[in-house]
Structure 1
């Protein structure tokens, strides 16, 4: 038994591929600060794992330069994990293109792209955490309508996923209603979803931003919540512990496809 315990401990000490968190980037400094805070939480949960953050635009380090540096350091495996809640343009086009170019520059660097974060029950747990932090109570569920407000995308698959999350959350969560809304590209807007629920006689309405970091579109969601007269506005997901666990889960899933399973957090 002691021999098995020693072997297990040895397996835990072996780091896996570098985890590269790929964020979009923003002119708003709160965005990068949130991404780095989330990466810090990952390092606490799994200290043996090397975690890097890279950005597609606006912030540094840029993903291409970061991959170049990792290759020069002798890193041989990277799991690129999109910090995205749905599979839209960035996950389908932007990130794969950047990774293909890096593979061409560094043919001995194995780069694998992980799945996006959503949908996942852990995201719903994080949404509910933020709602409770904003003042809702478990006893409020039956009388509260939720507006699940996302950034929005012109990709119909992404919009359908948000609508599906809203339906499932209503089915399992016990809320009076859960309706999707979007800050861009797709309707309804946050304020219109709030007003529609109010017109249906919902007594208490809360807006739950389905976004990770602050920025222009999350601010639009917040303004829409105020304009529509919502009773509660939750913070963005940010560096929620559930989000950190989900990132490690997506990393583990991608590593499992092509190699040994890392120890879960």
Structure 2
């Protein structure tokens, strides 16, 4: 069986570089498991090309793991359509779509890792307000997941956690930062809930700086927790297929 990481793709070269790093780290974590990566748009190779190449080599079973943090339009529509189209054109190839990465406690741990790397100390939790800033979606279900994560995360000791979105839905990052200031929070950290650099993560950073946030994290990238989660989603799907 092959693990295929399915990424959205971006014109920003940093996106493809991040996907390549994740693919390499997943392969290193699971020696003996073949790990490939394909993109829906903008980058090469496309998912269809990867699947066609695997079928030509005689591969018969693939688990496709969406490199997505929420189950929004791409997970519900784009990826199933691409996988269905590819498999209908490739008799003998079976592709099982795994669950998206989030929500997960591992992702929350990765967010905290990035906060500490950006300068927040464990003892700062009670005096620091966090803006959980994601790309945003036109799918209300996906945005509701981000709001739920923010509510749950606050219970771990942060003085406040607010969701924010770079597109499609308010509040924007800068508005969430200013709202925390209005509540009396002195130190605000913006945690970028994004897997790879690109236009929307850059927009989050611009909003954080414009509103004067003291801390801005890097994207999650190839954090160990993300690697572990990719492997877990593959294993869950592979076990379900075997059952």
Q: State the TM-score, normalizing by the size of structure 2.
A: 0.99
**Deviation, structure 1 residue 175:** 0.1
What is the root-mean-square deviation in Å for CA atoms of aligned residues?
0.7
Give the structure 2 partner of residue 179 of structure 1.
162
Matches within 5 A, 1:51-90: 51-90=35-74
Give the structure 2 partner of residue 197 of structure 1.
180
Separation of aligned partners in 2, 1:250 and 1:197: 35
**Deviation, structure 1 residue 176:** 0.3
Matches within 5 A, 1:99-248: 99-171=83-155, 173-248=156-231
Aligned residues between the structures: 243
**SS state of the match for residue 147, structure 1?**
strand
Give the structure 2 partner of residue 254 of structure 1.
237
**Deviation, structure 1 residue 107:** 2.4
Separation of aligned partners in 2, 1:36 and 1:126: 19
Q: Does 1:20 align with 2:8?
A: no
Separation of aligned partners in 1, 2:11 and 2:133: 21
Q: State the TM-score, normalizing by the size of structure 1.
A: 0.91
**Deviation, structure 1 residue 44:** 1.0
Computing the radius of gyration from Cα coordinates, the structure with the larger value is: 1
Structure 1 segments, 4+ long, off by >6 Å, are none
Structure 2, unpaired ranges of 5+: none
